Amino acid sequence: MTFINPAILFGLLAVGLPVIIHLLTKPRLKRMYWAASRFLLKSVQKNRRRVQFEDILLLVLRCLLVLLLVILFARPAFLTDAAGLQLGGEASTVVILLDNSMSMGQSDGTQTRFDQAKAMADGILSKLGTGSSGALYLVADGVKPVIPKPTQDLTVLRRSLAQASLSDRSTDLYPGLKQAVDLLKASAAAHREIFLLTDSQESAWRELTRIRQLQDENAKDITMHFVIIGEKGEDNLAVSGLQMIGTVAAVNQPLRCAVQVTNWSRTAVEKIPVKLAIDGDAPQDQAMIDKIDPGASRVVNLFVRFRDPGYHSITASIPGDRLPADNQRSIALLVLEQIRTLVVEGTTNPDPSARDGFFLRHALIPVRPDQVDQYPIKVTLGQPAELDNSTIDQYQLVFLSNVAQLTPLGAQNLQRYVNGGGALIIFPGPTTDISYYNTNPNLSALLPAQLGASRDAPAAQKFLSWQSHDYTHPITTLWNDPASGTLGSVRVSKYFPLQTKPGDAAARIVVKYADGEPAVMEQSVGKGKVILFSSTATTAWTTFPIHPSFVPLLLRISRRAVREANSISRRDNRLPSRSIPPMRARSFPCCARATKNGGSRARLSLASTPPCCAMPTRNWPGLISFSWVTILSPRWFLPWHPIRRNQSWRRNPRRTSIP
Amino acid sequence: MADSDSPSYLDPLAISRGESLGILARNVVEGYRVGEHRSPFKGFAIEFAQHREYTIGDDPRHLDWKVLGRTDRYYIKQYEQDTNFVVHLLLDGSESMNYGSGKVTKLHYAKALAACLAYLVLLQRDAVAVGVFDTQTREYIPRTDNLGKIHHIMNRLAAFEATEQTSLGVGMSDLSRIAKAKGIVIVLSDLFDDEEGFERGLQQLRFSGHEVIVFHVLDPEEIAFSFKGRVEFIGLEGAPTLETNPADIRKTYLAEMNAMRLRMRLACDRTGSHYVLTNTANSLAETLSGYLVFRHKVTAR
């Protein structure tokens, strides 16, 4: 037997309550003189044992009542096994629903739950009477019919059962039950039964109400058996998160990653080594977590360094346990050799320190002059005419600083660049022609807000300040911690009010002025990102370029823009266009292949216009490498997560059952 | 002044009802005054009682000449002679009588009942004697037929305080020795005593020729035992203190109490005494008139 709400079992401590209440509560004692004491004495003597017995009985009953209530609220579920099922010898039609979710891979030391379930299902089949028929479905968060219609050939059914394999998916039992019920409704058999073999994870009962309804509606015709597998073997440690939190991944640059490890066991776990490796090679970094309490998570920061540009994978791992599937976690990322940045200046000035890109250039390369060559960010200063040629595509970042206008071709190129995944950061300035920015169809489509007429700070205040607290945007949340300084000391004497476009929900405010007016806004456009400042990148109108937050804020903005613009998911449909000639056919079989890290392979179909890959299966979580069969090309790693691992891997220490 | 200070044990309603009924001796007792009570000496006084055949030795003056003239038979006319009587009120003054679940204790109730009875008796010019006992006779007011003595009786009753244990047998035995003339002995007690001693006392009184009426005075809680919650009972007359939950033992207690009442009633029946259960929750008038009505019916047979 197990319990659906095991936490309520702590209420068992309340069993002692009647005793404590009895001990603590002193009954109000009435005192009185009494004449007929002799009868009283006799009565007390006669009843003493009975009263004592009744008192003890009452106490026991009260304790039992509390016990029963606690157990009732904990919702006990009785586990059954195949041996306990009473199938009788009559012919029946059964549907076996075998949970093949990832958690069924949990082992008790000798056997996984999935193996146990298969053995039980085999036992059920062996007990079926002559003339019985059966169907087999694998259920996770989807339903896979193995034997979709009841067959009397139980040998085939057994063989299919033996060949059933685990998936890496979460569980949702309702769709499987619904299909099984629909199947049996169509059957004319006298005895119709459904056997659901599951380890009863929390997510499996997400549609419990509908399952109950299904059960109630068909209670007369169809018997449902819920066989709960795996009462023991709950201890599990999982890598529950892996996140890149350093700068943009670049060659020979240390990249900081946060690895989250969660202890789903009932006991604390100590001394957990966590390793971080690239492309399945030897670990580059490792750390030891001293202790994780039950149900708690710990995060460690580890560093990796890439030697080659291109697509790579990072894998965090912990030592193996009884559920191996969640002992490692991987992400794929594109490592850049250089982050090429173009800073377009609106004016020219012989004095380098007076140029529109002076502060930007130095902030983007915050290293000593002798280290500039090793630093991955390369900055090119240019004029608006630079945007007229197609070389703009080679840049990961483009800054516009105090640019008055663009040529029509430049504006078109810039729009194409952003839509294709480029990152654009705009600092207006004294020469900026706001009417051009607001009316040019190419440029206005990129802007997260319209630029209002330049405005001086109120005379009474002399300057405006940025907000000093309550930062909500991911770029600025760093400054919620006072130890990181404050953006509130950024002064602005003149600015272009950012006027939100009506109905534009994509635009977000990065930083506001103290009065609530937007100071910096961002917007995703196509596959790229645009960030718009309301004031200059020089000290003409604002102290921001000389503020301590200038460098970190600019780097965070750049990192976010580049990371999103160059993320694999946004680049994926560029794959065919860059690697093979555009195709006219609707599909091009045998030209591309996906390979799972375990060795499984699948052909990809390539759809045209725009050419893109289509995965034939959704059951391949983890790292998948894509390659061309016909031509040699670098591999492309994709993180394929059809299931939300956080949900799937979460170990619910208790199971549930249909009460 | 003393009379005016005496506690008013006389219940006006009880007295008025009792007065209309009178105290009628159930049995014929001898009296020293002519009153309303039948004398065992059927003689030749006032009221014709019956005829009896003449036997040798009878006074020929009592021959019924009319019968002789009509039937030639010799019949003697017999007459019934009323006589007054003495009522001995024997009040239990033990400590157990101090119990009362309400405002009235059993002792208080018994004192009032005794006072009412004494008044009624004196009112019809019979005599009354009052004795209060516990382990021995503590108070004794010799018999008197003077109605003016009622205040004296009440003062003596009021002054008495119950502090000792009970010995019913001793009290009744003392009375049988003290009371020279036969009369009615009215015992007012809760009878929480040795049952054998009580029966022995009854027998002695009966042997002495008294008619005995036992008013078994009990508090309503002693009869019903309807306490709730946890109660510490402090025993009177040296009984131990008991802490218990009355609800737990109610059934047994009531069985014991009813059994005791039955035994007392049977003891009364065996000795030809009259047993009256008196609940202090009932008004004195109700108790008194109830009993007197019953007695009137009995004596009217």
pLDDT digits (tens, 9 = 90+) for B201-248: 999 888 888 889 999 999 999 888 888 888 888 888 778 888 888 888
Cβ contacts of B240 on chain A, cutoff 8 Å = 37, 41
The minimum CA-CA distance between B233 and chain A, rounded to whole Å, is 5
The minimum CA-CA distance between A41 and chain B, rounded to whole Å, is 8
- Extract the tokens encoding A383: 């004029």
- Extract the tokens encoding A398: 């483009």
Contacts of A188 (CB under 8 A, 6+ apart): none
- Whether A45 contacts chain B with CB within 8 A: no
B222/A577: higher pLDDT: B222
C-alpha–C-alpha distance, residues A457 and A535, integer Å: 12
> Residue A55: closest CA among chain B residues belongs to which residue?
B248
- Extract the tokens encoding A596: 């799972």
The widest CA-to-CA distance across chain B, in whole angstroms, is 84
pLDDT reported for residue B13: 65
pLDDT score of A356 more than 50 = yes
pLDDT reported for residue A655: 32
Q: Which of A103-112, A284-293, A474-483 has the highest mean pLDDT?
A: A284-293
Residue among B128, B141, B134, B130 nearest B92 (CA): B134
Cβ contacts of B230 on chain A, cutoff 8 Å = 27-30
Contact A29 B248 (CB under 8 A): no
pLDDT score of A476 more than 50 = yes
Question: What pLDDT band is residue B81 in, cutting at 50, 70 and 90?
Answer: low
Residue among A32, A306, A93 nearest B99 (CA): A32
pLDDT score of A638 more than 60 = no
Three-state helix/strand/coil letters over A303-355: EEEECCCEEEEEEEECCCCCCHHHCEEEEEEEEECCEEEEEEECCCCCCHHHC
pLDDT score of A594 more than 80 = no
- Whether A33 contacts chain B with CB within 8 A: yes
C-alpha–C-alpha distance, residues B214 and B166, integer Å: 15
pLDDT reported for residue A531: 93
Of B231, B235, B249, the CB nearest to A43: B249
pLDDT score of B143 more than 80 = yes
Interface size A-B, in CB pairs within 8 Å, comes to 93
pLDDT reported for residue B32: 39
pLDDT score of A206 more than 60 = yes
pLDDT score of A273 more than 90 = yes
Q: Where are the alpha helices (DSSP H) in A550-640?
A: 550-565, 568-571, 574-579
- Whether A459 contacts chain B with CB within 8 A: no
CA angle A525, A531, A532 (to 5 degrees): 120
Contact B222 A47 (CB under 8 A): no
A316/A169: higher pLDDT: A316
Q: What are the tens digits of pLDDT across the range A340-350?
A: 899 999 888 88
- Domain definitions of chain B by residue range: 2-30+85-299, 42-80
A444/A234: higher pLDDT: A444
Contact A34 B97 (CB under 8 A): no
| Residue to test with chain A: of B244, B254, B261, B264, most A Cβ within 10 A | B244
- Whether A34 contacts chain B with CB within 8 A: yes
> Residue B106: closest CA among chain A residues belongs to which residue?
A35
Tell me if B105 sits within 8 A of B220, measured CB to CB: no
The minimum CA-CA distance between A62 and chain B, rounded to whole Å, is 18
pLDDT score of A634 more than 70 = no
Does B2-30+85-299 carry CATH code 3.40.50.410? yes
First to last CA, chain A: 12
- Whether A78 contacts chain B with CB within 8 A: no
The minimum CA-CA distance between A32 and chain B, rounded to whole Å, is 5
pLDDT score of A518 more than 90 = yes
Question: What pLDDT band is residue A626 in, cutting at 50, 70 and 90?
Answer: low
pLDDT reported for residue A137: 93
First to last CA, chain B: 46
Q: What are the tens digits of pLDDT across the range A537-571?
A: 999 899 999 999 898 888 888 877 776 555 544 33
pLDDT score of A607 more than 60 = no
Question: What pLDDT band is residue B144 in, cutting at 50, 70 and 90?
Answer: confident
Contact B229 A44 (CB under 8 A): no
pLDDT reported for residue B4: 44
pLDDT reported for residue A457: 86
- Whether A505 contacts chain B with CB within 8 A: no
pLDDT score of A102 more than 80 = yes
Contact B230 A27 (CB under 8 A): yes
Q: Cα dist. A161→A122, A136, A147, A619 in Å?
A: 8, 7, 9, 19
Exposed / middle / buried, residue A595 (Cβ in 10 Å: 0-12, 13-18, 19+): middle
The widest CA-to-CA distance across chain A, in whole angstroms, is 122
pLDDT score of B287 more than 50 = yes
Provide the CA A644 distance to its chain's centre, in angstroms. Answer: 6
pLDDT reported for residue A344: 93
Mean pLDDT of the A237-266 span = 83
Cβ contacts of B264 on chain A, cutoff 8 Å = none
The minimum CA-CA distance between A50 and chain B, rounded to whole Å, is 9
- Whether A29 contacts chain B with CB within 8 A: yes
pLDDT reported for residue A569: 41
C-alpha–C-alpha distance, residues B182 and B84, integer Å: 11
- Interface predicted TM-score of the whole assembly (ipTM), two decimals: 0.72
Question: What pLDDT band is residue A433 in, cutting at 50, 70 and 90?
Answer: very high
Mean pLDDT of the A358-366 span = 90
Contact A28 B230 (CB under 8 A): yes
The DSSP letter of residue A453 is P
Cβ contacts of A27 on chain B, cutoff 8 Å = 229-230
C-alpha–C-alpha distance, residues A521 and B298, integer Å: 116
Contact B192 A38 (CB under 8 A): yes
Tell me if A484 sits within 8 A of A453, measured CB to CB: no
Contact A29 B232 (CB under 8 A): yes
Residue among B218, B231, B200 nearest B287 (CA): B218
The minimum CA-CA distance between A68 and chain B, rounded to whole Å, is 27
Lowest mean pLDDT segment, chosen from A63-67, A79-83, A598-602? A79-83
> Residue B248: closest CA among chain A residues belongs to which residue?
A51
Contact A34 B239 (CB under 8 A): yes
Question: What pLDDT band is residue B59 in, cutting at 50, 70 and 90?
Answer: confident
Structure-token match 């002692």, residue found:
A16
C-alpha–C-alpha distance, residues B74 and B55, integer Å: 9
pLDDT score of A455 more than 70 = yes
pLDDT score of A612 more than 80 = no
Mean pLDDT of the A361-389 span = 87
pLDDT reported for residue A633: 44
**Strand pairing category for B242-244 and B230-235:** antiparallel
> Residue A32: closest CA among chain B residues belongs to which residue?
B233
Mean pLDDT of the A446-470 span = 88
pLDDT reported for residue A484: 81
Q: Cα dist. B46→B34, B39, B60 in Å?
A: 10, 12, 18
pLDDT reported for residue A41: 85
pLDDT score of A201 more than 70 = yes
Neighbouring CB atoms inside 10 A of A207's CB total: 16
C-alpha–C-alpha distance, residues A12 and A66, integer Å: 8
Residue among B183, B182, B201 nearest B191 (CA): B201
pLDDT score of A338 more than 70 = yes
C-alpha–C-alpha distance, residues A519 and A515, integer Å: 10
pLDDT reported for residue B182: 80
A378/A619: higher pLDDT: A378
Mean pLDDT of the A61-90 span = 71
pLDDT reported for residue B27: 43
C-alpha–C-alpha distance, residues A406 and A159, integer Å: 70
pLDDT reported for residue A650: 33
Q: What are the tens digits of pLDDT across the range B99-128?
A: 888 888 898 899 888 888 888 888 877 888
C-alpha–C-alpha distance, residues B90 and B95, integer Å: 16
Residue among B116, B126, B112 nearest B36 (CA): B126
pLDDT score of A589 more than 50 = no
pLDDT score of A300 more than 50 = yes
Of B222, B227, B252, the CB nearest to A35: B222
| Residue to test with chain B: of A22, A25, A30, A34, most B Cβ within 10 A | A34
Question: What pLDDT band is residue A603 in, cutting at 50, 70 and 90?
Answer: low
Mean pLDDT of the A446-472 span = 89
Question: What pLDDT band is residue A46 in, cutting at 50, 70 and 90?
Answer: confident
pLDDT score of A359 more than 50 = yes
> Residue B191: closest CA among chain A residues belongs to which residue?
A36
Contact A34 B192 (CB under 8 A): no
Percent of chain B with pLDDT over 90: 13
- Extract the tokens encoding B19: 């007065």
pLDDT score of B190 more than 70 = yes
pLDDT score of B296 more than 80 = no
Q: Rounded mean pLDDT of chain A? A: 80
pLDDT reported for residue B83: 53
Mean pLDDT of the A639-643 span = 42
Cβ contacts of A46 on chain B, cutoff 8 Å = 249, 252
Q: Cα dist. A469→A100, A484, A485, A511, A512 in Å?
A: 49, 12, 11, 10, 10
pLDDT reported for residue A572: 38
pLDDT reported for residue A95: 92
pLDDT reported for residue A429: 92
Contacts of B92 (CB under 8 A, 6+ apart): B107, B110, B133, B134, B166, B168, B171, B187, B188, B189, B190, B191, B217
Domains of chain A: 2-27+34-77 (no CATH), 82-228 (3.40.50.410), 237-335 (2.60.40.10), 339-565 (3.40.50.880), 571-640 (no CATH)
Q: Cα dist. B86→A187, B118, B173, B211, B297 in Å?
A: 107, 10, 17, 11, 21
A635/A134: higher pLDDT: A134
Cβ contacts of A22 on chain B, cutoff 8 Å = none
pLDDT score of A427 more than 90 = yes
Mean pLDDT of the B53-73 span = 86
pLDDT score of B189 more than 80 = yes
Cβ contacts of A41 on chain B, cutoff 8 Å = 239-240, 242
Q: What are the tens digits of pLDDT across the range A382-411?
A: 988 888 887 788 888 899 999 999 999 999
